[in-house]
Amino acid sequence: MAITKATASSIAPAAKGDLVVGSATNDASVLAVGTNNHVLTADSTTATGLKWAAPAGGKVLQVVSATTSTETTVSSTAYTDTGLTATITPSLATSKILVLTSQAARATLNGIEETGLVIRILRGATAIFNDNATNMNLRLQINNITATMSIATYLNYTYLDSPATTSATTYKTQGGARTANGTAIFQYGGTMTSTITLLEIGA
pLDDT at 141: 57
> What tens digit of pLDDT does each residue of 150-159 get?
788 898 999 9
pTM of the model: 0.71
DSSP per residue, 123-158 = ETTEEEEEHHHHT-SEEEE-TT--SEEEEEEEEEEE
Please, what are the domains in the chain?
Answer: 5-53 (no CATH), 60-201 (2.60.120.760)
Instruction: Tell which wins on pLDDT, 122 or 43.
Output: 122
> What tens digit of pLDDT does each residue of 47-96 get?
888 888 876 667 899 999 999 999 999 998 899 999 999 999 999 999 99
pLDDT at 1: 47
Across 161-178, average pLDDT: 95
Across 136-160, average pLDDT: 73
Q: Rounded distance, CA 35 to CA 10, Å?
A: 25
pLDDT at 126 over 80: yes
Distance of CA 100 to the CA centre of its chain: 7
